A and B are shown apart, each in its own frame.
Chain A
Amino acid sequence: MNNSTEVRGQRSETSPSAGKAAPAPAERHGLGKQLKSLLELLLRDLEVLTSGLGSRASGKAGSGNSFAGSPGSGIFFKAFLGLFLRDLRVLLREFHVFLARVGMQPLLFLFVFTFILPRMGGANLMATGGGVDFGTILLPGLMAVAIMFSGIAAVALPLSQEFGVTREIDDRVMCPLPLWAVALEKVCFSAMQSIIGALLVIPMAYYVPASPVRVHVANWFLLALVLVLSSLLTGSLGLVIGSTVNPRQIGLVFSILVVPITFLGCVYYPWARLGKSGLVWIQIGVLFNPIVYMSEGLRAAVTPGIPHMPWWAILLALVFFTAALGRWGLRGFLGRVLS
């Protein structure tokens, strides 16, 4: 148990510093003072964290504080694990609700577009030419949608409620963990749900469509990387929404943000075909949409036969959007819990 605690905690420590390195150039573009103070805050917390590490390494109780059960050592990792376990308990208690939440939409999509419609309108209704059927195009897109919906449902909705009337977040904010780590835990937990949601789509795409979906994972490493990055990205997006949107208007977010970025996120069509169809202005316009890189990345990993963006561009964009949204979300989170 103890070992797993530390491994998880280690991740919590390394990933923000990696995220911190990325935004550094953006600072030059004039994000300015607030960012600097945020970085200082991060650094200060990292200091606290590493001092905890030091005392663990030397096997001494940190600064002589006698502490119930575990004197001084690894407290940050354990606190992070505690938060994660809490979320896991709540999720598992309503696991069927979670499955319905992440599974219903892709299931119905596949059922209508790849099972019902092909039988109604003949073979070519949704076909994209080149012998590739719609199901194959749809699979990576639906995985991206599943990732995004889980991210928002797992972070934005509970956060906006916890920040709102009940202030339930208070107890978790008071645990002996730097505040950014509390936010990071939310993002990591949501990422886990997103990955489960995305993987659920694969068996559905295998069984539901009338004609088989051609799945061919050429590069497992790329798939894992895209899955993890996409999930962290949507978790960060959820953090932004949850900490900046008024709980009463959270429903509005779905109609004015989530639905548009989904429909314009190259979910139902490959990005490359936009240009071929003479829609270059759309092709360029959607480059600002992070969902595009999620669906294109999954396309590259799961159905490489379909034209897709180059993998390096996808990864670069995913890292950029994760860092940018993560920083924005963290700033919002700190703004809500610190005054």
Chain B
Amino acid sequence: MIPLIVEIEALTKVYESKLRVVAVDGIDLELKEGEIFGLLGPNGAGKTTTISIATTRTLPTSGTVRIAGIDVVQHPAHARRHIGVVPQFNTLDRSLTVYENLYFHCRYFGFSHAQAKARAMELLGQFLLTERKDVYPAQLSGGLAQRVQIARAIAHRPTVLFLDEPSAGLDPQSRMAMWGAVEGLRGEGITVLLTTHYLEEADSLSDRLAILDYGRVLALGSPEKLKATLGAHTIFDLKLKLRDGLQPLAAALRARPNVTGADVTADGLRVVAANSDGLLPELVRAAAGHGLLDLKITEPSLETVFIQLTGRDLRE
């Protein structure tokens, strides 16, 4: 059996301030050794809070998280030895060079001078940073800084690496490079938990993923499985000029064999269909009377899965 590296059980986090916010609302997750696991959800879904708790930075309201069998609330200092973190923002030590950032990180984790030096040089090579070893973080571009952060996070050979929105603020080229770096970690046997609100990222990187919204897990499985069981659907968004009497039309469409859902939206109508053959002309005909302004078709993807689960767009 493949050992479990991260075990999250009935995790909740409630922020009690003026406004009571339930950031995490009973999450259960298990990560197996060596897998890349994605947490997908819109902003405010509870992804970052979940990661903060797992990385000992936030105390849960209830529930437990174990990293390599160690309870992160009971033994945070021990658990941290198994944890590598790439935070959402650049937290590189501004007073140290790139090399020193890696070197001292190793020292924090008990490496001797010689071990830390060797490991830092190895990582500089692995992440193509050797030329920039004496540069200070303030002089690095966003993509390079992110690369240094990943190198630093894995420097002490953690069991699990947490990447919080790793591609936020990166240009497309740097994002591809970052994906490459994460893919490269597979060879090292590190378990990776990454949060993202980019569907492409979750789809292409993760072996399994969980879709989160309002602090709860809505769906869990491999991207393929999620698409197959939940999302082999095409979504038609119709933008209509005249929005009176749409309910009967929606009801009529729902009665059609391949249509799994038809709802009135703010702009017009949203139709979800398992099989779109021949549906398009019919929709256009039906909508003609309502003044069809625009029609958007979303092919089956994680995005359609997400829209079906939450009823809203990930980018909204």
Residues of chain A whose beta carbon lies under 8 Å from any beta carbon of chain B? 1, 44-45, 48-49, 62-63, 65, 67-70, 74-76, 78-79, 81-83, 85-86, 89-90, 93, 166-179, 337-339
Contacts and interface: CB of A to CB of B under 8 A. Distances in A.
A68 B115 contact: yes
**Residue from B78, B83, B100, B111 whose CB has the most chain A CB atoms within 10 Å:** B78
B59 interface: yes
B75 A48 contact: yes
B108 A176 contact: yes
Interface string B79-96: 011110101011111111
Given A63-B70, A68-B111, 7 more contacts: A82-B108, A83-B108, A86-B104, A167-B89, A174-B57, A337-B57, A339-B58
B132 interface: no
B105 interface: yes
Nearest to B55: A174
Contacts of A167: 87, 89, 91
Interface of B: 52, 55-59, 68, 70, 74-78, 80-83, 85, 87, 89-96, 100, 104-105, 107-113, 115, 119, 152, 156-157
B17 to A, nearest CB: 11
Contact of A69 (B57, B78, B81, B115): B115
Given A1-B112, A78-B107, A339-B58, A176 B81 contact: yes
A65 B93 CA distance: 28
A115 B91 CA distance: 48
Contact of A168 (B56, B81, B85, B91): B91
Contacts of A74: 110
Nearest to A337: B57
Contacts of B115: 68-69
A70 B108 CA distance: 12
A338 B59 contact: yes
B88 to A, nearest CB: 9
Contacts of A337: 57
B188 to A, nearest CB: 12
B113 A338 contact: no
B89 A68 contact: no
A173 B57 CA distance: 8
Contacts of A70: 110-112
17 contacts: A49-B77, A63-B70, A63-B78, A65-B68, A78-B111, A82-B108, A85-B107, A89-B100, A168-B94, A169-B91, A171-B105, A171-B108, A172-B108, A173-B57, A174-B83, A176-B78, A339-B59
B111 A81 contact: no
Contacts of B87: 167, 170
Contacts of A82: 104, 107-110
A90 B110 contact: no
Contacts of B83: 174
Contact of B81 (A65, A83, A170): A65
Contacts of B58: 338-339
B91 A76 contact: no
Contacts of A178: 76-77
Given A89-B96, A339-B52, A176 B109 contact: yes
A199 to B, nearest CB: 25
Contacts of A1: 112-113
A169 B94 CA distance: 11
A81 to B, nearest CB: 7
Nearest to B119: A68
Contact of B82 (A45, A65, A85): A65
Contacts of B91: 166-171
Contact of A90 (B74, B96, B157): B96
Contacts of B156: 68
Contacts of B77: 45, 48-49, 76, 176-178
- Top 6 nearest A-B pairs (CB, nearest first) are A82-B107, A175-B108, A78-B110, A170-B91, A82-B108, A176-B81
